[in-house]
Amino acid sequence: MIAWWGSLGFVEQIFFGLALVATVLVLIQTLLMLIGSDGADLDIELDTEHASGLKALSLQTISAFLLGIGWIGGGVFNLTGSLLLAVLLGCVAGLGFSSVIFFLMRWVHQLREKGNVDPRNAIGQTGKVYIPIPANREGEGQIEIKFQNRFRVVQAVTSATEALPAQTEVLVVDLAKDNVMVVRPLHQPQLSTPKEKPQLPQ
């Protein structure tokens, strides 16, 4: 191993150094994910969260990206001697690796949540209309809501006499068939009371 490392040039040491570090990180994260540890869910705090609650830019996807750049980029440079080609193909491979890791994480996340999500926990929570909801339960729309510490996009209906447009704040009041949320506008319009007519002096 030491002899192999010493035989590499400076550029190759950068590529393969990234590859070795990223490989160790990916192996640790995979092990943590298999045993169900929360340590596998470290995310970079950027506004890249998926509707499922996962972040597209996370420690796992960054490690996978560096893995692609390191091994593929280092191999291409070793074969061709072209730094530009090595970086280009390494980035393409890194994006491919990180995409595979993201969708694998999403699949595992969905498997975990199938037995853990209880839609009844959404009753009494507030959210916003994502896709307009027809009035009088004449069709389904969607709402964005946070319950069980995750933001979710779920199907919803309303008994309100007027359709609920996007971005309307709503309150979940019940569950319908197939766990469809029943919502009402959070701010109900107040009915105006008729004013008394002034009495004319007799």
pLDDT, mean of residues 78-102:
91
Q: What is the pLDDT of residue 32?
A: 77
pLDDT, mean of residues 101-117:
71
What DSSP letter does each residue of 58-75 carry, written as one string?
Answer: BHHHHHHHHHHIIIIIHH
**Could you read off the pLDDT of 28-43 as tens digits, one per residue?**
887 876 675 544 444 4
Q: How many helices (H) and strands (E) does the chain have?
A: 5, 5
Q: What is the pLDDT of residue 198?
A: 52
**Could you read off the pLDDT of 41-71 as tens digits, one per residue?**
444 444 444 444 445 567 888 888 999 999 9
